Amino acid sequence: MENSQILSTDRQVVLPAVIVVIAALFRCLPHVPNMTPIAAMALFGGAYLSKRYALLLPLLAMLVSDIFLGFHPVMPFVYGSFLATGLIGLWLRSHKTPGYIIGAALLSSTIFFLTTNLGVWLMGGLYPKTAQGLLESYTMGLPFFRNTILGDMLYTGIFFGGFAAIKTFIWQQKPASTT
């Protein structure tokens, strides 16, 4: 295998993996509630990591950050929503246009909102286990949904846009001739 081919493979694996790990670290820093890079990380991982790591690495990054942040009964719903987001990222892998990326981020935000608020209703004691209780759970979650959308759009733009810029402006530059 040629050195340039090895370097190209490293770029395709290492840089996306580094972005995913950085996103998990950002989750541990103080932030506006629900305004984290996690969904963007799962979308990006699905779109750019090899299929072998596309779903595993973002979930592993979540698990590592949860060791420091703590565990709670709604976590299966949180992880399930990010697994769904990773699957959307796998679909996005062959549909990387700005419109599809924006749509994927919005769909991911919606899945997270619907799934995790259902989990809060089912697993917690905040709301009665009635249709009215479920509706109240979703209503009380609306301010967080706004933050989720804002965060997902911001970080998705940063990850996908930043990676595209790196590929276009840095990797495509030819080294200056040394003669």
Per-residue pLDDT tens listing for the chain (179 residues)? 443 343 355 666 676 777 777 877 888 888 899 898 889 989 999 999 888 788 888 888 888 889 888 999 999 999 999 999 999 999 999 999 999 999 999 999 999 999 999 999 999 999 999 999 999 999 999 999 999 999 999 999 999 999 889 888 887 765 555 54
Euclidean distance between CA atoms 178 and 175, whole angstroms:
9
Report CA torsion sign: 154, 158, 164, 169: positive
Report pLDDT for 173. Answer: 61
Report pLDDT for 106. Answer: 98
Report pLDDT for 2. Answer: 43
Q: With beta carbons less than 8 A apart as the criterion, state whether 19 and 159 touch.
A: yes
Q: Identify the CA nearest to 41 among candidates 170, 159, 169, 175.
A: 159
Q: What is the reported pTM?
A: 0.83
User: Max CA-CA distance within the chain?
Assistant: 77
Euclidean distance between CA atoms 142 and 117, whole angstroms:
10
What residues contact residue 85 under an 8 Å CB cut-off, 6+ apart? 39, 42, 43, 46, 108, 111, 112
Report CA torsion sign: 92, 95, 100, 102: positive
